[in-house]
């Protein structure tokens, strides 16, 4: 049996036939290593199927267009949420003096928003979305 299963094609055919037997499949999936390998291969097969679909299916251009539209709508929604939230919150600061620590935090975040807006404008105008390391640190609050 071991000699026959050295060939990948033969091993796959024999394994498939054996795993169709209920008791054998149950026992094989009780083996942690075998179960892990089967799960890993299932994930890989799914990724390959997605890649094939993305490269070869005739509806791929339509799906990409929908994805781009959704990204555009997500960005516009983020702007809307920011503007509406700011419009609701800022008037509440009337006649209120923020402490020095609070002002520093607000100014740091305003700087992050400005850099982010510049980054968005650059991405929209040029299609380049890569930022430098300093931008990444600033956006992460570091």
The C-alpha atoms of residue 97 and residue 122 are separated, in whole angstroms, by 35
Cβ atoms of 116 and 139 within 8 Å: the answer is yes
pLDDT in tens, 87-140: 999 999 999 999 999 999 999 999 989 988 998 998 899 888 887 666 776 667
- Mean pLDDT along residues 28-54: 86
- Mean pLDDT along residues 33-49: 88
For the entire predicted model, the pTM comes to 0.54
Domain residue ranges in the chain:
4-56, 64-96, 100-142
The CA-based dihedral angle spanning residues 88, 90, 93, 97, taken in that order and rounded to the nearest 10 degrees: 160
The C-alpha atoms of residue 136 and residue 129 are separated, in whole angstroms, by 12
Q: Looking at the chain, list the stretches that DSSP marks H as alpha helix, in order from N- to C-terminal side.
A: 8-19, 22-29, 32-56, 60-89, 100-126, 133-139
Residue 134: its pLDDT value, please? Answer: 65
The C-alpha atoms of residue 25 and residue 18 are separated, in whole angstroms, by 7
pLDDT in tens, 49-62: 888 877 788 888 88
Residue 101: its pLDDT value, please? Answer: 96
């Amino acid at each position: 049996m071991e000699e026959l299963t050295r060939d990948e094609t033969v091993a796959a055919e024999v394994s498939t036939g054996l795993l169709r037997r209920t008791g054998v499949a149950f026992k094989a999936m009780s083996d942690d290593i075998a179960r892990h390998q089967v799960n890993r291969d299932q994930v890989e097969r799914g990724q390959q199927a997605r890649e094939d679909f993305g490269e070869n299916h005739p509806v791929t251009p339509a799906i990409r267009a929908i994805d781009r539209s959704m990204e555009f709508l997500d960005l516009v929604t983020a702007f809307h949420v920011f503007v509406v939230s700011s419009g609701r919150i800022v008037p509440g600061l009337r006649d209120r003096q923020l402490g020095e620590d609070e002002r520093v935090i607000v100014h740091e975040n305003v700087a992050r928003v400005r850099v982010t807006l510049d980054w968005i404008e650059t991405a929209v105008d040029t299609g380049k979305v890569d930022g430098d390391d300093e931008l990444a640190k600033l956006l992460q609050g570091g």
